[in-house]
């Protein structure tokens, strides 16, 4: 098979990009290791910035989000006792949209057939070839038979563990990494949220986040030691911990219920630069990871795709030979700022192993400063809604 663009990975980055290219008449094929049911079932991010909302609008796939999503004009930080409200609407003029990554993925997947976006699921042994030439190819196995796709550009949207980034020679890029000594245990439950807006809490006992998927479905997180197992955390233990960490006001409104899903995600900050090598471009988690504090992971994948689609459209449709070369610098400028925000909010809201009373006092002083300074609140709000693309 020969196509202009071969996309590896059918997560949000790969599906968004495939649709954006199709809309401009650029043919692509998307290769995905998992089954459609597996991809659809993954519970991940929950808060969309304007950039992500805007991509769904641009594709005309925003109807369900407009009907079922919850626009939020503020969120809260908690220091164990009080709630500090960040009025993002008043401070930035913008809102965020609470609409799960599962729903975004479903909307993108359901539109593939009608829009003739070809996604090949359950493919194995995906391997990239000749990425330093302008005639790269990708081989994969399906049903025991090896196939080959010849293309002009390969876009690696295959997440942190995919083969794309690993195909770049080690001397052609640099890795920047920070691994955190805790993970987030998340639970999903069909109970009303304890608060109409999100709460990120820093309590003596650790971090907690109260989020939601709808007015009847809640998503909660607590930080746990990185080696804890899901089995260590029966539902009642999670609810008890949430009730303590979220503070008395929220705790009074927590409705307990059986968990529909429970999992632990490790926390990591990671950037691979540059995000392009020869004929290979990287988008989303394939190039960078943020800790989930601040809800940037999915939104950063969307902003990479915005820049990648722009570069590819200029390259293929407007005959701009240099368009692809500029992709990495444009994408990375925004990536680094989101990395900084996610890292600093993680630092502010979590207990670290070697933190003593001084570090704890610094966190409390910073939260108190945020509570009383419009300038500090504005800095947080403009990063939370997403910096301009
Ligand atoms: P992915 O969604 O990872 O998609 C990559 C795709 O590539 C997958 O479908 C994968 O199956 C496919 N793939 C991998 N290897 C191959 C291969 N060899 N061949 C073919 N296909 C391959 N962010 C938040 O903001 N908030 C959260 O609460 C949150 N929770 C998360 C929980 C988990 C468990 C994880 C892993 C991430 C979470 N994130 C969260 C981050 C957010 O979900 C990601 O940033 C987002 O999914 C990135 O999209 P992506 O398309 O780049 O990568
Ligand atoms: C959710 C996840 C996040 O990482 C975050 O910062 C906010 C909300 C969520 O899953 O709802």
Domains by residue range for the chain, with CATH: 5-73+96-177+268-345 (3.50.50.60), 183-267+351-384 (3.30.9.10)
> What digits encode the pLDDT tens for the residues 10-50?
999 999 999 999 999 999 999 999 999 999 999 999 999 99
> What digits encode the pLDDT tens for the residues 325-376?
999 999 999 999 999 999 999 999 999 988 999 999 999 999 999 999 999 9
Closest approach atom of ligand 1 to CA 158? 7
Predicted confidence band of residue 80 (pLDDT cuts 50, 70, 90): confident
Tell me: pLDDT of 199 over 90: yes
For residues 215-219, give the mean pLDDT: 97
- Beta strand ranges found along the chain (DSSP E): 5-8, 28-31, 47-48, 70-72, 75-78, 83-86, 96-98, 118-120, 124-129, 137-142, 145-150, 153-156, 174-189, 199-203, 206-212, 218-225, 259-273, 276-277, 280-282, 288-289
Report angle CA 65, 66, 70 to the nearest 5 degrees: 75
- What is the CA(209)–ligand 2 centre distance, in A? 8
* Predicted local distance difference test score (pLDDT) of residue 174: 98
Cis peptide before 274 (omega within 30 of 0): yes
Tell me: pLDDT of 127 over 90: yes
CA distances to 214, 217, 221, 257 from 190, rounded to whole Å, are 9, 4, 15, 7
Tell me: pLDDT of 122 over 90: yes
Helix (H, G, I), strand (E, B) or coil at 169: coil
* Predicted local distance difference test score (pLDDT) of residue 389: 94
Q: Are 125 and 144 in contact (CB under 8 A)?
A: no
Which one of the ligands is nearest to 121 CA?
1
- By most ligand atoms within 8 Å of CB, the mutation choice from 12, 184, 209 for ligand 2 is 209
Which one of the ligands is nearest to 209 CA?
2
List all residues 6 or more positions away from 229 whose beta carbon is below 8 Å from its beta carbon: 264
* Predicted local distance difference test score (pLDDT) of residue 185: 98
- What is the CA(296)–ligand 2 centre distance, in A? 9
Take residue 43 and report the two structure tokens written for it: 């519970």
Using a pLDDT cut of 90, give the percent of the chain over it: 98
Q: Identify which of 272, 304, 327, 285 has the alpha carbon closest to the alpha carbon of residue 386.
A: 304
Lowest-confidence region among 140-144, 262-266, 351-355, 376-380: 351-355
For residues 191-214, give the mean pLDDT: 97
Take residue 281 and report the two structure tokens written for it: 């471009």
> What digits encode the pLDDT tens for the residues 158-176?
999 999 999 999 999 999 9
* Predicted local distance difference test score (pLDDT) of residue 285: 98
* Predicted local distance difference test score (pLDDT) of residue 353: 86
Query: How far apart are the C-alpha atoms of 53 and 57, rounded to whole Å?
Result: 6
Q: Are 314 and 48 in contact (CB under 8 A)?
A: no
Q: Are 26 and 312 in contact (CB under 8 A)?
A: yes
Query: How far apart are the C-alpha atoms of 297 and 251, rounded to whole Å?
Result: 28
- By most ligand atoms within 8 Å of CB, the mutation choice from 108, 119, 124, 162 for ligand 1 is 162
> What digits encode the pLDDT tens for the residues 283-317?
999 999 999 999 999 999 999 999 999 999 999 99
- Cα-flanking dihedrals φ and ψ of residue 80, to 5°? 100, -25
Report DSSP state, residue 285. Answer: G
Helix (H, G, I), strand (E, B) or coil at 200: strand
Whole-prediction pTM? 0.97
List all residues 6 or more positions away from 388 whose beta carbon is below 8 Å from its beta carbon: none
Using a pLDDT cut of 70, give the percent of the chain over it: 100
Q: Using a 6 Å cutoff on CB, does residue 11 contact ligand 1?
A: yes
* Predicted local distance difference test score (pLDDT) of residue 81: 85
Whether ipTM > 0.90 holds is yes
* Predicted local distance difference test score (pLDDT) of residue 335: 98
Q: Using a 6 Å cutoff on CB, does residue 187 contact ligand 2?
A: no
Which residues does the annotation mark as catalytic?
72, 200, 292, 296, 384
- What is the CA(283)–ligand 2 centre distance, in A? 21
């Amino acid at each position: 098979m020969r196509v202009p663009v071969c996309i590896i990975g059918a997560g949000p980055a790969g599906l968004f990009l495939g649709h954006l290219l199709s809309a401009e008449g650029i043919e692509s094929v998307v290769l995905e290791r998992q089954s459609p049911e597996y991809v659809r079932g993954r519970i991940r991010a929950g808060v969309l910035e304007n950039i992500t909302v805007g991509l769904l609008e641009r594709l005309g796939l925003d109807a369900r989000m407009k009907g079922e999503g919850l626009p939020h004009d503020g969120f809260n930080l908690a220091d164990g006792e009080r709630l500090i409200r960040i009025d993002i609407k008043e401070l930035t003029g913008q809102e965020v949209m609470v609409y799960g990554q599962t729903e975004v993925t479903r909307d993108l997947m359901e539109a593939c057939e009608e829009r003739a976006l070809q996604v090949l699921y359950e493919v194995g042994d995906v391997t990239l070839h000749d990425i330093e030439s302008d005639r790269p190819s990708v081989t994969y196995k399906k049903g025991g038979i090896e196939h080959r796709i010849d293309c002009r550009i390969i876009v690696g949207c295959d997440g942190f563990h995919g083969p794309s980034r690993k195909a770049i020679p080690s001397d052609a890029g640099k890795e920047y990494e920070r691994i955190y000594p805790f993970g987030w245990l998340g639970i999903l439950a069909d109970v009303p949220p304890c608060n109409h807006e999100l709460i990120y809490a820093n309590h003596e006992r650790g971090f907690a986040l109260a989020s939601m998927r709808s007015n009847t479905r809640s998503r909660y997180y607590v930080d746990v030691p990185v080696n804890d197992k899901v089995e260590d955390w029966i539902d009642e233990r999670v609810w008890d911990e949430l009730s303590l960490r979220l503070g008395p006001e929220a705790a009074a409104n927590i409705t307990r219920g059986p968990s529909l899903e429970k999992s632990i995600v490790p926390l990591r900050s990671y950037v691979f630069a540059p995000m392009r090598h020869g004929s290979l471009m990287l988008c989303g988690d394939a190039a960078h990871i943020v800790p989930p504090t601040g809800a940037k992971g999915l939104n950063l994948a969307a902003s990479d795709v915005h820049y990648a689609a722009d570069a590819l459209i200029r390259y293929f449709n407007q005959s701009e030979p240099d368009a692809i070369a500029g992709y990495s610098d444009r994408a990375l400028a925004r990536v680094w700022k989101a990395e900084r925000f996610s890292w600093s909010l993680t630092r502010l809201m979590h207990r670290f192993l070697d933190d003593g009373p001084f570090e704890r006092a610094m966190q409390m002083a910073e939260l108190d400063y945020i509570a009383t300074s419009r300038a500090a609140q504005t800095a947080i709000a403009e990063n939370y809604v997403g910096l301009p693309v």
